[in-house]
Amino acid sequence: MGNLLEHMGIEKDRLHFSWISSAEATKFVDVVTKVSEAVNALGPNHKLVKNAG
């Protein structure tokens, strides 16, 4: 899915997958931070957004 989105022109770093056990709160915090940083680095997304109205 990520590959095709990228192929279409949506940056790969906008879509993340991860695997965290329910006991891994630290990993959770870690991944959230990374995901957030990656997406923030790209800035807001305008592609594929359906405008209201």
At its nearest, how many Å lie between other proteins and the CB of residue 12? 9
When asked if residue 43 is in the footprint of other proteins (CB under 8 A), the reply is yes
Q: Which residues contact 14 (CB under 8 A, 6 or more apart)?
A: 5, 39, 42, 45
**Are the C-beta atoms of residues 35 and 16 closer than 8 Å to each other?**
yes
Mask 5-34, x = binds other proteins (CB under 8 A)? xxxxxxx-xxxxxxxxxxxxxxxxx-xxxx
Query: CA-to-CA distance for 48 and 44, rounded, in angstroms?
Result: 12
Under the binding rule (CB under 8 A), the answer on residue 53 touching other proteins is no
Residues binding other proteins (CB under 8 A): 1-11, 13-29, 31-36, 38-40, 42-45, 47-51
